[in-house]
Structure 1
Amino acid sequence: MTDQAYNPNNTCYRHPDRQSFVLCQRCGRTICPECQTPAAVGVHCPECVREQRALFAANRRASGGPSGLTVARRRFAMLDQKGTVVLVAISVLVWLFDELSRGALTNLLAYNSLLLPVQPWRAVTVLFVHSGFLHILFNMWALWIFGRILENMLGTWRFVALYFITGVFGTMLVTFLAPGTWVVGASGAIFGLFAAFFVLQRSLGQNAVQLLVIMGLNLLIGFIPGTNISWQAHVGGIIGGFVVGFVFAQTRNIRQRPLQIALLVAAAVVAVALTVVGYAVTVG
């Protein structure tokens, strides 16, 4: 068992002699109580607080008599969960347009491994297509809840990378285990968020058993006959979530950012490569 007291990642980045296990919810750096500023969710480090205040001041100076669009743009700039908001908004707009066009976008964006060589974009666009109101309602509810939490913990670009990498891992396992099957929905990526959040909570020494139970129960629903749920995408997303979550947990130190980026790129490449291998083995 590793003694956390001697782990340099568990010391404040501004005061290396002070032990802490609390991370800035925006950039992920470890900060001691003196450096913590309470936020809507968790705490922020001095640099992130300074950046937010500077952005707010710049927006105020730039706004003389702001139009409605300017106000909306400024508020969006101050938002801490831009990635989550954009992902939910795109998914809802795609669903609405799909309903109005009687499935035109489903035909264009849904995934089927038989089409992988000629329409590879479907491995990603499948995350934005949903089959019905309840399908998108539950997926977007889960994305809104866990997405905002994870985006606050990881930052926007890390969260978006997590979402798409785990989504492709879900597509990958569908390619291996259900070749030729049409699938839609973001649930593979959402299960990836569950798994990554579990890993991060455990790495911070917090009890995440309840989350594991919830994830397990939701996973089991997909195995019930007649539910028409792609459990393969769920399992693939969980695998991807554990992989990416482990990368984030092991590269928390700000000095490890190049390594973190390299490992995320490697995870994405592995997901894509395995999807191609799955096609070659099952179809090609």
Structure 2
Amino acid sequence: MEGREIEETDAFPVERDEEAPEPEDEEQEDDETGGPVGCCEKFQHSISRWMLPAHKRDTYLERANCCPPPIFIILISIGELAVFIYYAVWKPQKQWVTLGEGIWNSPLAYKPDKRKEAWRFVSYMFLHAGVQHIMGNLLMQLLLGIPLELVHKGFEVGMVYMSGVLAGSLASSIFDPLNALVGASGGVYALFGGYFMNAVVNFREMIPLLGVFRILAIVLIVGSDMGFALYRRFISHEVGYKVSFVAHIAGGVAGMTVGYVFFSNYNEKLLKDPRFWLCIVGYIVFVLFAVLFNIFLSPA
């Protein structure tokens, strides 16, 4: 409801591109050049009508293409898979199901006693604790990240993803300071958080059944994954480090703030939008607080 009231009252001084006339409901037979509309274009037209408010459809159709291709999410996934294979095959344990000391002794893992090595707050995303861990993260980030990057491009998706990764390790260092951290769940949950906020904000302007399906699908996927993370953290009696689950929550929150701006406001001039500054300033304040906490207050 807030999104509609903002647009009606012009509460924020945001410049918008000139909106094109409402497209006709009938399927267009020709594109702008006069040629026949292909299956891909028809599919994109259908998706835009089902999933987006009317005033954002034209911009979606302009930006939904493979030029440039979704290179960020693909490269990140390849990097994570390559590191996993390295520690599963080349390192001494030589097995895939659950990796052992190899990943915990890696210079990439976030460990409380090694937090002075600042790169670990980001590099931990390349390590995974086993086949189930990495396959779940890769599947979710590819299924969600590629469609997002086709529209929002690599910079926007990369900003949201990396904000979730950083928020995950910093939040874990505050709320779960004695446990190590591996995995890309913070980035994956940031994508979910941004997509979820997009679905909630535009819910009244979409087909109701589709809006409910999108929200329920996100809730079910996130709920089941969080349940498994909580089980491994508090119930499972595996030997060694217990992987922190706080990164899941922090990544989702980061996605709902930073991702709200990058994934929902196609035409807005961000530097003139107070919501942009509210999200960015809030995120920066959290990062600064977490850094100071790790320097002066951490019990680790």
Match of 2:114 in 1: 115
Partners of 1:233 and 1:50 in 2: CA distance: 31
Partners of 2:299 and 2:288 in 1: CA distance: 15
TM norm structure 1: 0.71
Number of equivalences: 246
Structure 1 residues 216 and 153 mapped into 2: Cα distance closer, same or farther (>3 Å)? farther
SS of corresponding position for 2:270: helix
Which of these residues, 207, 217, 220, is aligned with residue 213 of structure 1?
A: 220
The one of the two structures with greater contact order (alpha-carbon pairs below 8 A, sep at least 6) is 2
SS of corresponding position for 1:183: coil
TM-aligned CA deviation for residue 48 of structure 1: 8.0
Partners of 1:217 and 1:47 in 2: CA distance: 31
Contact 1:163 1:193 in 2 (8 A): yes
Matched letter for residue 289 of structure 2: L
TM norm structure 2: 0.67
Match of 1:176 in 2: 174
Partners of 2:42 and 2:83 in 1: CA distance: 33
TM-aligned CA deviation for residue 113 of structure 1: 2.9
Partners of 1:150 and 1:258 in 2: CA distance: 24
> Residues 71-100 of structure 1, C-alpha deviation per residue, up to 9 Å, x if partnerless?
xxxxxx845311111110111111122221
TM-aligned CA deviation for residue 158 of structure 1: 0.5
TM-aligned CA deviation for residue 268 of structure 1: 5.4
Match of 2:257 in 1: 243
Matched letter for residue 157 of structure 2: F
Q: Is 1:282 aligned with 2:298? A: yes
Contact 1:114 1:283 in 2 (8 A): no
Q: Is 1:98 aligned with 2:98? A: no
Partners of 1:183 and 1:98 in 2: CA distance: 16
The 5 Å alignment of 1:154-165 reads: 154-165=152-163
SS of corresponding position for 1:181: coil
Match of 1:15 in 2: 19
Aligned-residue CA RMSD (Å): 3.9
Partners of 2:281 and 2:58 in 1: CA distance: 29
Contact 2:188 2:251 in 1 (8 A): yes
Matched letter for residue 282 of structure 1: S
TM-aligned CA deviation for residue 178 of structure 1: 1.8
Structure 1 residues 261 and 209 mapped into 2: Cα distance closer, same or farther (>3 Å)? closer
Partners of 2:76 and 2:259 in 1: CA distance: 20
TM-aligned CA deviation for residue 12 of structure 1: 8.7
Question: What is the percentage of aligned positions where both structures have the same residue?
Answer: 19
Structure 1 residues 186 and 106 mapped into 2: Cα distance closer, same or farther (>3 Å)? farther
TM-aligned CA deviation for residue 140 of structure 1: 0.7
SS of corresponding position for 1:108: coil
Match of 1:87 in 2: 76
TM-aligned CA deviation for residue 133 of structure 1: 1.9
The 5 Å alignment of 1:1-284 reads: 1-2=1-2, 3=4, 6=8, 13-15=17-19, 18=21, 38=41, 42=47, 78=67, 80-99=69-88, 100-102=90-92, 103=102, 107-117=106-116, 119-205=117-203, 206=206, 207=211, 208-210=214-216, 211-224=218-231, 225-226=235-236, 228-248=242-262, 251-256=265-270, 266=281, 269-279=284-294, 280-283=296-299
> Residues 157-176 of structure 1, C-alpha deviation per residue, up to 9 Å, x if partnerless?
00001000011111112101
Matched letter for residue 220 of structure 1: G
Matched letter for residue 194 of structure 2: A
Contact 1:179 1:283 in 2 (8 A): yes
